């Protein structure tokens, strides 16, 4: 498939270590712009190639998001394949200083590397009426993003847009409906492949299944 263009290629691993950004300030800003582009245009698939070399099974795209957006005050939940990987945990702790938490509802960010067994979206922090921004941002690593499938409507989308990702749980479309029904509460979703990114903020409404 062809991704839309965006300022999503930047940085390098640096010094052959395969760790972290080559330029923390420059690369963090580039990632932030890429994320804002994705959130402002829900369902739009963009190129995202940060050229990091984190320990597997963590995607370089995922690593770039966390390195740019998380810090020592951030709580992160990892699914089992990541949580059980000492190299991944050490990588995130070293570069972000973030606290790894045991339960999805405790997390500011959640990273899912095995979508088929991911928790229901309702199990993550939904935010509070006075502080909806305290909900979890869920980063989902998938094999592919497609400009087809679900029909989505909402802020940042002209008319509607087609989008889907794979693999995902069979009931994920229903979970998106429930997530939108809670607005302004609910989680925000960022989908990444090895080289692409797309976002579904909680404001997006599923208007027709694919």
CB-based burial label for 122 (10 Å; 0-12, 13-18, 19+) = middle
Q: Mind listing the domains of the chain with CATH numbers?
A: 24-208 (3.40.50.11310)
Q: How far apart, in whole angstroms, are the C-alpha atoms of residue 210 and residue 201?
A: 19
Say whether pTM exceeds 0.85. yes
CA distance 73 to 60: 22
Please report, in tens digits, the pLDDT of each residue of the chain (210 residues total): 333 434 444 444 433 334 687 666 788 899 999 999 999 999 999 999 898 999 999 999 999 999 999 999 999 999 999 999 999 999 999 999 999 999 999 999 999 999 999 999 999 999 999 999 999 999 999 999 999 999 999 999 999 999 999 999 999 999 999 999 999 999 999 999 999 999 999 999 998 765
């Amino acid at each position: 498939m062809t991704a839309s263009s965006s300022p999503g290629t930047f940085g390098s691993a640096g010094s052959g270590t395969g760790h972290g950004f080559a330029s923390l300030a420059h690369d963090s800003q580039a990632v932030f712009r890429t994320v804002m582009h994705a959130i402002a245009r829900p369902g739009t698939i963009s190129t995202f190639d940060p050229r990091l070399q984190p320990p597997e099974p963590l995607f370089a795209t995922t690593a770039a998001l966390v390195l740019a957006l998380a810090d020592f005050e951030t709580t992160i939940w990892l699914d089992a394949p990541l949580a059980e990987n000492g190299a991944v945990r050490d990588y995130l702790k070293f570069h972000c200083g973030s606290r790894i938490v045991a339960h999805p509802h405790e997390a500011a960010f959640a990273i899912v590397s095995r979508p088929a067994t991911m928790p229901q979206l309702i199990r993550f922090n939904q935010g509070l009426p006075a502080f909806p921004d305290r909900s979890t941002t869920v980063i989902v690593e998938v094999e592919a993003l497609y400009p087809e499938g679900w029909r989505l409507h909402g802020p940042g989308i002209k008319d509607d847009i087609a989008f889907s990702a794979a693999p995902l749980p069979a009931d994920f479309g229903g979970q998106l409906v429930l997530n939108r029904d809670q607005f302004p509460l609910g989680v925000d979703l960022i989908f990444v492949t090895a080289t692409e990114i797309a976002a579904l903020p909680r404001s997006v409404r599923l208007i027709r299944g694919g």
